Structure 1
Amino acid sequence: MNSNDEAPTTPPGTAGFNVREFARTAHGSHRGRLDLASLAEEPLDTDSLRLVRALRDMERTTLHRVRDLLVTATHKDARVTAFLTTWMFERYWIADALDAVLDASPAAHGLPSSAGPARRVLAERRERRGPIRRSLIANITGTQIVAEHVTTSLVDEWITQAAYRRLPGVSPAMASIIGPVVEIKQRHIHFLAEEAELRLGRSARARRITRRALRRSAWPLGSVDRSRHERTFFERQVFGDQSGRAEAARIRAMVAALPGIGPGVASTVESRLLP
């Protein structure tokens, strides 16, 4: 292992993103600002409501994701841990806002069940390990696991942001609801992108670990536990048409531009987004 791999877990010169200010200005409940009355006049169609439900479920998984991250060496990094605490708080309230949209939409009660058998993909078997086994393996990896965590979370945020951008186009009533959500998530992306650039840029081992995780992950993160028909729906709804394929190509370009990741891994990520 070279000297770069022994570097301290907190990157030097991280003045760009102010984590303390991020925590101070965290966004809580959105219900008082939601224009839910407009949804009665311009109701969402079934597919859009199904996408809202999928996004709500993704935001709700944050607590479990943070739990899995903090049983690894990531918990030793005070800067990342401080971010994750506020990130989890803000995603909880985003999920609550999406719950309000579903509650205000009578058609949401007739959505098909999200339950069903999971998709079985050999490359995703790593994600099916139990939390204890994942923790043991991650702790053997050491502090370089932080690069994997911030980078995969960054890619996940890019993907969910692409999904959110589909909603204002299907109903003008959603623009006032989704606009603030996208702005909140842009702060998350700012932090994660900054950390990914720093950590990947200084360690060859971190780059190897992260490339492997990007190739093997189910997207969006947590999809490994969702039913195969819900995963297929998300892929078709977000990335299935011409504009969706353009979004997938944009994500591929951003992944490829990360230090040491390259076009091969980026193309694998893109291929797993497309239906």
Structure 2
Amino acid sequence: MPVSSRSIIGRSARVDLEGIDFNSFETQPLAVETLRCLRYMCDVESHTICYLREILATSAHRDPDITAFLACWNYEEFWHGEALGQVLELHRLPGAKESAQDLRRERKWLDELRLLTFNIGSLIADDFVAIQMCWGAINELTAQAAYARMIAKAQHPELSELVRRIMKQEGRHLDFYEGEARKRLLKSRRAQRLARFALTKFWAPVGSGVVSNSEVAHMASYLFADEEGLVAAQRVDRKFSRLPGLDGLTLLETAARRGGKAAALRQ
């Protein structure tokens, strides 16, 4: 049964930072490899407002449950980016706002092209919203797995606590996307076929097209290309492929192996 947007609204809030010792990042700084992943995650979280623009350009804006959820999703993701940006600033790196300004300036024409694509897709496919909900579900699953892998890799108590609090909110986002995707796929075989085609042909890890290809490859390699990472990626794929019509997809595992190879070639 899909999670009600109203239940999410009732619990929506800024990520709780009470008790997080941010000073520990100055006395116990994060490794360079971890900071690269944190930069990636901060940029993706801060870019949510642009994803929201694309979704609302489609017929999804007619569904009050979806728009209610999206309002909370965007609010919470914004504060996730700010919290991660605060950690980056303590390492003398650009925070969320500064990095977001640079990314949006660089991506101006690409963003307009993506918006046009979403408009056209919504016009020619009645089941386009189902595809969007599937896309949201795999992205949230991937984000949860990526955060969990970063905790395991970094072994930093304060970062672990901060990321766990972010993951708790991300889990509610996942529940909504997954529930809506399942509901819409069950109603339409055509939606199942279109979603499977779109995901197989066009899906890439969340953040692709926002940050550089080299950073996408680094994230995939650092978090998912080793033995433990591949197990985590396979777990994501198994869960996602339980959605109607999407059995057997190996989206994250394929991306992880591709990213590992790309990163190895750059070394």
TM bucket, shorter chain:
0.7 to 0.9
SS at match of 1:209: helix
Alignment partners' CA distance in 2, 1:194 and 1:53: 30
Structure 1 residue runs of 5 or longer lacking an equivalent are 1-13, 117-126
Structure 2 residue runs of 5 or longer lacking an equivalent are 104-110, 261-267
Tell me which moved more, 35-44 or 71-80. Answer: 35-44
Match of 1:27 in 2: 13
Specify which of 159, 163, 183 is matched with residue 174 of structure 1: 159
Q: Which amino acid is 2:192 matched to?
A: R
Q: Retained in 2: the 8 A contact 1:31–1:100?
A: no
SS at match of 2:204: coil
Match of 1:145 in 2: 128
- State the Cα deviation string for residues 217-245 of structure 1 (Å, max 9, x = none): 34223403431211111111111111110
Match of 2:180 in 1: 195
Measured after TM superposition, the shift of residue 41 of structure 1 is 2.9
For residues 103-122 of structure 1, the aligned pairs below 5 Å read 103-106=89-92, 108=93
Structure 2 length-normalised TM: 0.84
Alignment partners' CA distance in 2, 1:209 and 1:163: 27
Q: Retained in 1: the 8 A contact 2:146–2:223?
A: yes
| 1:136 is the counterpart of 2:120 | yes
| % identity of equivalent residues | 27
Specify which of 20, 23, 27 is matched with residue 37 of structure 1: 23
Q: Retained in 2: the 8 A contact 1:147–1:200?
A: yes
| Residues 130 and 159 of structure 1, relative CA distance in 2, 3 Å threshold | closer
| Residues 26 and 46 of structure 1, relative CA distance in 2, 3 Å threshold | same
SS at match of 1:262: coil
Q: Retained in 2: the 8 A contact 1:215–1:269?
A: no
- Equivalenced residue count is 245
| 1:233 is the counterpart of 2:244 | no
Q: Which amino acid is 2:136 matched to?
A: S
Q: Retained in 1: the 8 A contact 2:207–2:216?
A: no
Specify which of 147, 150, 159 is matched with residue 164 of structure 1: 147
Match of 2:81 in 1: 95
Measured after TM superposition, the shift of residue 92 of structure 1 is 0.3
Match of 1:119 in 2: none
Specify which of 45, 50, 65 is matched with residue 79 of structure 1: 65
Q: Retained in 2: the 8 A contact 1:164–1:178?
A: yes
Q: Retained in 1: the 8 A contact 2:4–2:65?
A: no
In angstroms, what is the RMSD of aligned CA positions?
A: 2.5
Match of 1:208 in 2: 193
Tell me which moved more, 205-214 or 94-103. Answer: 205-214
Alignment partners' CA distance in 2, 1:102 and 1:185: 20
Q: Retained in 2: the 8 A contact 1:214–1:269?
A: no
Alignment partners' CA distance in 2, 1:102 and 1:258: 37
Which aligned runs of 4 or more in structure 1 are off by greater than 6 angstroms? none
Alignment partners' CA distance in 2, 1:52 and 1:268: 22
